[in-house]
Every structure is written in C-alpha cells, then in structure tokens.
Chain A
Amino acid sequence: MRDELQLIRDASTGDRAAFDELVRLKRERVVRTAFQVTGDLDDAMDVAQGVFVKLWQGLDRYDTGRRFDTWLYRVTVNAAIDFIRTRGPKGMMQPLPDDPSSLVAVEDRGIEDSLDLGALQQAFTRLAAGLAPKQRAAFVLREIEGLETAEVARVMGVAESTVRNHLFQARKTLKAALLRDYPDLVPRGGDSSS
C-alpha cells in the first residue's frame, strides 16, 4: 500500500490508479470544507469535483516540500469562495434540510444530554450566510476544521493578523446571532465539575 506522498508522486506522473486513491483519501475533507463554506451539499459536490479536476491537471506543479493538505485546503477554499461570490448567499434563504443528506450523522442525535448536531448545523448554515466569504472561510478552517491560525493564514494566503481579524468579526457576528436566534444551543451557567 502506497503512502500519501507516494500517491501524490505517482499521480503527478499520470498514474490514474494513484490519483483515484488520492481522491478517495481526501474527498471527505474536501466536501466537508466546501460544504461548510458554501452551506449547500450539492454546491459542495460541484466545488469538490472542480477541486479534484484541478488537482489532476496541476499535480505536477505541486511542491512536495510543502504540506499537501495546506495546498488542498487552499484550492478548496478559493473554489468555494469563488462559488458563493458568483452564486450569492444561500443559507439565509434555504436552511439545510434535516434529512440523511445532512452532514450530521443520524446516530449522533437524540441522545440524552447530547447536543442536537442537526440543529447546530442548520443554525451555522443560516447564520454563516451573513458572514463575508473570507470571514466564513477563516472561521470554518480555524473552528470547525481545527487548523492553527498560522496554517489558516497559509491556506488563505494572508497574514496571521488578517486571519485574526476575520475570526474576530466572524465570532462577534455569530455570537450575537446565536444568543438572539438560538439561545437553546448556548445554555449559560454550566458546571464542568459534575
């Protein structure tokens, strides 16, 4: 079995089997990121398809000295931002339907004390539609994908201070909207010692 770097090297020489395996390895992350930035799974599928076609066409220009995931995130986020700039915000008008196509697994719902992740996803889709595309992308990469601020800056091709500014604005907007529209998702006065 080939490791990731070997897959990249082989795919860059035109090895279709290696490329297909690379797609299988990275597709969920690409779709998930595109989904959180665009707010729509069908749109995320279109974005992801474009990302992988671009990957196939440009893999021979990838510098193996750099982190592949950073490069992939960059292509994905740029494609998703371009997509929503062309399409315009959608989440405000069309909240994600609560069906199996939702990214949130059904088995995660309904457990006592558990957060309703379906409701949380709907809330994010709706509220994030009010963010500027780059604020939204920075928030998704930092908070949902869990990248460090420096990594987010590399992905977005901006300074860390710019990322911190995007995050500050995004958190401020989301906090106000959460407390106003979804107070049940953010109960106050928890006891962590229980």
Chain B
Amino acid sequence: MSRMTRHLDRELIEGFESISDAARETALVHLRGCAGCRAAWIADEPSRVFALLSRAPVPEQRLELLSQRVAAAVAPRERTPRWYGAASIAASLLLAAVLGAVLWSHELPQQSIARIEEIGSPGRMPLEDIGARLVALPGEESRVLDLTIGETQVLLIFDESIEL
C-alpha cells in the first residue's frame, strides 16, 4: 500500500504540521514504508518518528474484553436519573419546610407556660390552681416543686448546695 503512494516532496515535509488529517494519514502510511522519505522527514526533528505510531490498532480481543468489563461495571449500579436527585432534594426541603411551619405555629400548652411562670414568680398564681405543689423536705434547704399530671410525675428540686 505504501508503495502506491507518492514520495513526500520538500513542501509537504516542511508544512507537515499544518496539513489536513486525511493528508497526514496518507503521508504516514507512505512514511512507514519508505526509508528515504522517512529520513528526510525526521532530519530536522527526530522525535517526529513517533508519529508513525498513529492509529496503531488495538487487538480486537482486548477491545471486546473492555466492552465486557465496562458492561459489568455499569450494570450493578445503573446510573441514577438526574431528575431523581433533584426530586429527592426538593422532597427533603418540602418536608423540612412543613415540619418547621408546624413547629413554629405550635403553641405550648397553657398549663406548662403557667407552671414556668409560677416558678419565677410564685405569688402571681396559686400553685394549686395549676395542679402543682411546692414542698419542703424536713431539715433541708431544698424546695421541691411537684408537677404531677395524671400518671406522670415531674419533680423540680431547688437547692443551692447541690453541685452538678
């Protein structure tokens, strides 16, 4: 095949860097088989000779093996559609917004608020009105606020001597 192509003239050799892809391929085919043209072509730049490795074919069995490996690597974890990721984020944001709105608008039970205020200023509302009672342990400085509601008992102990 190389013997059927023309020898490279000086003009082509000097302008080799700027010729078209097709002309380059034709010239490379000729250069692979023509020692004379090759010597003239690499005279100025010997490393040019490596361009002759262009388009070297890869063994077909290697290529088939690659396709099999790629198929196996891709199959177990199919690509997640892009919309799925966006939908997941949107759903998360919506859920967070709904929960936030619910929590923001949710009012604490009046009874609880009253009890907190009662601790700060017990004189403003009688404890018994909110179902709580303040007890003192015998011989102790502690004060215990009993906030029993139904079956749930919450005791708040106030004592300056307690070290946490």
Partner-B contacts on A (CB < 8 A): 14, 16, 19-20, 23-24, 27-28, 31-32, 35-36, 41, 45, 48-49, 52-53, 56-57, 59-60, 100-101, 103-105, 108, 111, 113-115, 117, 120-121, 124, 139, 143-146, 170-171, 174-175, 178-179, 185-194
Q: List 13 A-B contacts (CB under 8 A).
A: A28-B58, A31-B58, A32-B55, A35-B58, A49-B66, A114-B33, A117-B56, A144-B53, A175-B45, A175-B47, A178-B47, A188-B43, A192-B36
User: Chain A binding site: helix, strand, loop or mixed by DSSP?
Assistant: helix
A56 x B74 contact (CB < 8 A): yes
Q: Considering the chains assembled together, what is the distance between the CA atoms of A35 and B54 in angstroms?
A: 12
- Cβ-based interface call for B46 (8 A): yes
User: Chain B binding site: helix, strand, loop or mixed by DSSP?
Assistant: helix
Residue from the list A14, A35, A100, A185 in contact with B49, Cβ < 8 A: A185
B51 x A24 contact (CB < 8 A): no
Q: Chain B interface residue count: which class?
A: 35 or more
B45 x A31 contact (CB < 8 A): no
Q: Nearest B residue to A172 by beta-carbon distance?
A: B47
Contact string against A for B residues 46-77, beta-carbon threshold 8 Å, 1 for contact and 0 otherwise: 11111111111111001101110111011000
Of the candidate stretches B8-16, B115-123, B144-152, the one touching chain A is B8-16
Residues of chain A lying within 8 A (CB to CB) of residue B10? 192
A191 x B62 contact (CB < 8 A): no
A192 x B40 contact (CB < 8 A): yes
Q: Considering the chains assembled together, what is the distance between the CA atoms of A178 and B45 in angstroms?
A: 11
B63 x A31 contact (CB < 8 A): yes
B70 x A145 contact (CB < 8 A): no
